[in-house]
A and B are shown apart, each in its own frame.
Chain A
Amino acid sequence: MKEIYVEKDSYFDSVVLMLINREIKKIEGVTEAVVAMGTPMNLDLLGDLQMDNDEVKGATPNDLIIAVESDDAAVLAEAMEVAKKKLTERGSSGESETYKPATLDAAVNTYSDINMVVISLPGAFAPSQVRKALNQGKHVMLFSDNIPLEQEIALKKLASEKGLLMMGPDCGTAIINGKPLCFANVVKQGPIGVVGASGTGLQEITCSIEKFGSGVSQGIGTGGRDLKSEEIGGTMMLMGIEALKNDPETKVITIVSKPPVESVAKKVIDALENSGKPGVVHFIGLDGEDTANVRFAKNLEEAAKMAVALANGEKFERILFTISDSEVEAIVAKESAGIAVHQKYLRGLYTGGTLADEAMILLNESLGGVFSFDHVDKNYILKDPFKSTAHTIVDLGEDVFTNGRPHPMIEPGTRDDRILLEAKDKEVALMLLDVVIGYGSHPDPAGAILDSLQLAKDNAKKNGGYLSIVASITGTEGDFQGFAEQKRKLESIGIVVMPSNYQASMLVLKIMEKVGK
């Protein structure tokens, strides 16, 4: 059966009618449908389809015709209703979606004020984009890893010719003009400029600077290989130092890196020495001779403390703990009291690579050897990274753990699993942890592992002992997770929270000494 409807003098755009036609044809049971203006061509078509009547035959191009055919009267009624409803419906412009440029060129053409390009593309595709950005005169932060060394050399050469920042590759942290980029913390602005070849190192130093009451002018990342490769030769570190030297806001220059190759170390120290500004150096695990202008710090926190003292024109005093000795003694007494004879070992479970290195270096000798993933002494390299041996400190952000899984700073799953594994080991006396907050990190890294830590403590208790857990938080109150809130969560289950990774490591040492392990 057919239903035919003609509305006189009611013009609709043919495209609108084609859309409605399509909608009606989709209705189950509709065998034919024509929604069209009464043009001679359409009248012929309706005639051919035998879907016309006298009214249709008399229609003009200004008359709307709706003709529907179906075996089901209900379907006919529905189709007519849908058609009429669609005709009166007002179009909305849809979701207001902002246009995303698909290429860097297009973005730069549209937004000429872009001055920094942050790139976290897969490594294979990143270098060509870095080159484009540099050629457009834009500074670059290259978060991507898996960039071949020769590419890094070429890109840094280009950046250096153009006098542009090329922070990276594998650069996770920077603070430019007070704005944290990628994995970084909200740190007050101030007189201390930092150039770092280590992401979490940069985070720990900048957060400690705020903790000691000062602030950061710029936090420049260089990527981990900047000082470790002779060919790169500290290109970005040297450019960073030079820029901080020229920067009127910067009073003190602090640099941090894993141990550099000797020739590069010399160039960098010379540059600092000649900057005319006081300099602080921390090469993780490597000491050096102070010079007239340059001081060597022994750990990340100390680097911050030295820089703040220099910025304030105060004398630097080396101290172990920022909390009082009596407080430390009380904590050590409390934490060591319940540890049973069968509990022997320390397990350091880290998410920040530099922080893990720092703890390992601080504890290795005093504890008579700590197993780790990349120990310099082959005898102390973990045979199976997924299984701890005696004293063990692991960086759970290593590729072997993150293969196919997110980094534990972003998603604590890999560390949570490891905590549960360690919880089954009766010999564990102590756990040492970092909690890194700030942009890029999980919204609640402390909360996410709390249940597993509680379970580990409960297990130790069931076995007649006590599991001591010591942690530090890298972050500031300005971070969206909130330093105080993260601390409160950890302390709620009896975890000792120390003011820095260094102090947490030293406390662990004291507890272990106390229980005689």
Chain B
Amino acid sequence: MDVKAINKLFTQDLVVANMGLESFADNLREQDVKAIQIGWKPPAGGDPKLVAMLDAIEASGVDVAAANAKAVKNMMTSKPVLMDIGVALDDIPGMEEKMFLHAGPPVSWERMSGPTRGAVIGGIIFEGWASTPEEAEKLAASGAIKFDPCHHHSTVGPMAGIVTPSMPVWIVKNEAFGNYSYATLNEGLGKVLRYGAYGEEVNNRLQWMKDLLAPVLKAALAAHGPLDMKNIIAQVLQMGDEGHNRNRAGTSIVIRELASDLVKLKDFSKEEIAEVFDFLNENDHFFLNLSMPTAKAIIDSAHNIEGSTIVTVLARNGTDFGIRVSGLGDEWFIDQAPIVDGLYLPGYTEDDAARDIGDSTITETAGFGGFAMAAAPAIVKFVGGSPEDALNVTKRMYEITDGENTIFQIPILDFRGTPTGINLLKVIESGILPAINTGIAHKTPGIGMVGAGLVDPPMKCFTDALAAFAKEYSNKK
């Protein structure tokens, strides 16, 4: 009988993890014993069905831990690089001449939220398929345009996430795995298409972006050469951004990186280049449309791994919230999108808010955004007000992730890597939902952003995914 471990214990200082009655921990502390109280809660509110599913997965013999380790390793070794600016129809795989991409899981025109409808109307006008909103609406309802989720095309879109065929798109390549990802260029704040605005101002800006902004940036990027996005994300986390709701540092870095190549451009006038500089300078969120495809390029390397419970998509369309899980292929697990608990811009209240919307939650799946909240003290007001609240958000996310990022680090946590790789099983077991920072759109098409805040994804998406996983894998071995 080998009891060496017990005899070793007899020579050590007792260090206790206490689960249950907290007074046991208090009593130990009184005796100068280090005691850590675990804030354990029954899995998903103590639902015995879920416990049974967790047990069934454990008993199935599928090596979930190994599959997840592979998924997380792929994320860590990913090498996302900003390559070029292309055109949606030419570059996005599967894009069609009469197709619009949108954020979140699949949704029909009839079920689309206000902001998504507004953005579709704006997109139709931008494409020149209609000249009035009424005409555009009629066309959208006619079925002549195919609506498909961005995620079905390696693409991500903030808020409504509408991508139309002739829009310019960023092209990011994951050099380690060869996969690509795409996103439009960010329009700025206020009345913008992604928040469902479609007026003349919106259309003029979209045209300007297509005609001037995109060509200028494309040329500058070509002269500069590909941008190492992973390195830039690592930098911004040390400069007070979390890459989702704060992108001030990221935007600044891009301007800095491209500045010299921009001013050397020969095919554009000084005035035109200055316009581009001004546009970048006025839009703190310009970098969001780069951090998102970067996240997408990273997380796609962890998708479709047999036996993995890593969550690879969190996405909303203002109607539904959907998730995907690595080991469950392209199936969506869907529930109604929640209302965001947030702070509102002057003039607006919660009554104006659309349901949660956008693909920007891709940043959280890749190990930044809300998961790196501790890195962004400037926006702690969104999560309760104090820097300690922000630290606790990140600390809580370590509970549901399988890895700590080797590149993305948080200075205030002693350069601990960001929590990376959301494990579905840990979400269910701990009852802790992924922390998401997000913007809030007005529920009426055409108005735009009304606030920003924190949102909990619906637990049902995760419990449904668990059920599917238990079903899929319980018979495999």
**Chain A residues with a Cβ under 8 A of chain B:** 13, 15-19, 21-22, 25, 32-36, 41-42, 45, 49, 91-94, 96-97, 99-111, 113-122, 124-125, 128-129, 133, 137-139, 143-144, 160, 162-165, 176-177, 179-182, 186, 217-218, 238-240, 242-243, 246-247, 249, 439-440, 480
Contacts and interface: CB of A to CB of B under 8 A. Distances in A.
Given A118-B17, A243-B6, A103 B389 contact: no
Contacts of B4: 163
A243 to B, nearest CB: 4
B388 A138 contact: no
Interface residues of B, number: 72
A273 B262 CA distance: 88
Contact of A116 (B2, B9, B20, B189): B9
A137 B346 CA distance: 55
A70 to B, nearest CB: 16
Contacts of B430: 102-103
A179 B7 contact: no
B270 interface: no
Contacts of B349: 25
Given A100-B37, A116-B9, A186-B31, 8 more contacts: A18-B346, A94-B388, A114-B15, A117-B17, A122-B42, A177-B14, A179-B31, A242-B1
A117 B451 contact: no
Contact of A94 (B15, B386, B426): B386
A325 B7 CA distance: 44
Interface of B: 1-7, 9-10, 12-21, 23-25, 27-28, 30-31, 33-34, 36-43, 46, 48, 51, 54-55, 189-190, 343-347, 349, 378-379, 381-382, 384-389, 391-392, 395-396, 398-399, 426, 429-432, 451-452
A125 B34 CA distance: 24
A116 B16 contact: yes
B395 A99 contact: yes
30 contacts: A13-B378, A18-B344, A18-B451, A34-B347, A93-B386, A99-B395, A102-B40, A102-B396, A103-B426, A103-B429, A111-B36, A113-B15, A117-B16, A117-B19, A118-B17, A118-B20, A120-B21, A121-B40, A122-B42, A124-B51, A128-B54, A129-B19, A138-B17, A139-B6, A163-B6, A177-B13, A180-B27, A243-B10, A246-B7, A249-B10
A223 to B, nearest CB: 16
A104 B16 CA distance: 11
A139 B451 contact: no
B18 A180 contact: no
Nearest to B35: A118
Which of A102, A186, A240 gathers the greatest number of chain B CB atoms within 10 Å? A102
B3 A120 contact: no
Given A15-B381, A96-B388, A247 B343 contact: no
Nearest to A18: B343
Contacts of A33: 346
A102 B388 contact: no
A165 B16 CA distance: 13
B416 to A, nearest CB: 10
A16 B19 contact: no
B16 A118 contact: yes
A16 B388 contact: no
A32 B346 CA distance: 9
A143 B22 CA distance: 13
Contacts of B392: 97, 99
Given A94-B386, A111-B17, A121-B20, A100 B39 contact: yes
B24 to A, nearest CB: 6
Nearest to B189: A41
A165 B31 contact: no
Contact of A102 (B3, B51, B399): B399
A180 B28 CA distance: 8
Nearest to A480: B30
A106 B388 contact: no
Contacts of B16: 114-118, 181
A239 B6 contact: yes
B5 A164 contact: yes
A101 B39 contact: yes
Contacts of B34: 111, 113
Given A22-B343, A125-B51, A94 B385 contact: yes
Contact of B19 (A15, A121, A217, A238): A121
Contacts of A162: 5
A177 B8 CA distance: 11
B9 A165 contact: yes
A109 B398 contact: yes
Contacts of A36: 345-346
Given A120-B19, A163-B4, A180-B31, A107 B38 contact: yes
Nearest to A99: B395
Contacts of B15: 111, 113-116
A87 B256 CA distance: 34
Nearest to A160: B1
Contacts of A179: 14, 28, 31, 33
B1 A239 contact: yes
B470 to A, nearest CB: 15
A177 B48 CA distance: 38
A92 B14 contact: no
Which of B16, B43, B55, B387 gathers the greatest number of chain A CB atoms within 10 Å? B16
A111 B17 CA distance: 9
- Rank and list the top 5 A-B pairs by shortest CB-CB distance, nearest first: A120-B20, A100-B39, A34-B346, A18-B343, A243-B6
B9 A115 contact: yes
A102 B38 contact: yes
Given A103-B40, A106-B399, A239-B1, A42 B346 contact: yes
Nearest to A65: B346
A100 B430 CA distance: 12
B387 A93 contact: yes
A74 B15 CA distance: 59
B24 A92 contact: no
Nearest to A24: B346
Which of A22, A45, A105, A217 gathers the greatest number of chain B CB atoms within 10 Å? A105
A18 B345 contact: yes
B388 to A, nearest CB: 5
Contacts of A34: 346-347
Nearest to A141: B16
A263 B1 CA distance: 19
A125 B45 CA distance: 12
Which of B19, B344, B349, B387 gathers the greatest number of chain A CB atoms within 10 Å? B19
A106 B404 CA distance: 12
Contact of A103 (B3, B9, B38): B38
A399 to B, nearest CB: 18
B2 A91 contact: no
A106 to B, nearest CB: 4
B167 to A, nearest CB: 24
A290 to B, nearest CB: 25
Given A101-B36, A119-B19, A15 B379 contact: yes
Given A34-B347, A103-B430, A165 B6 contact: yes
A107 B385 contact: no
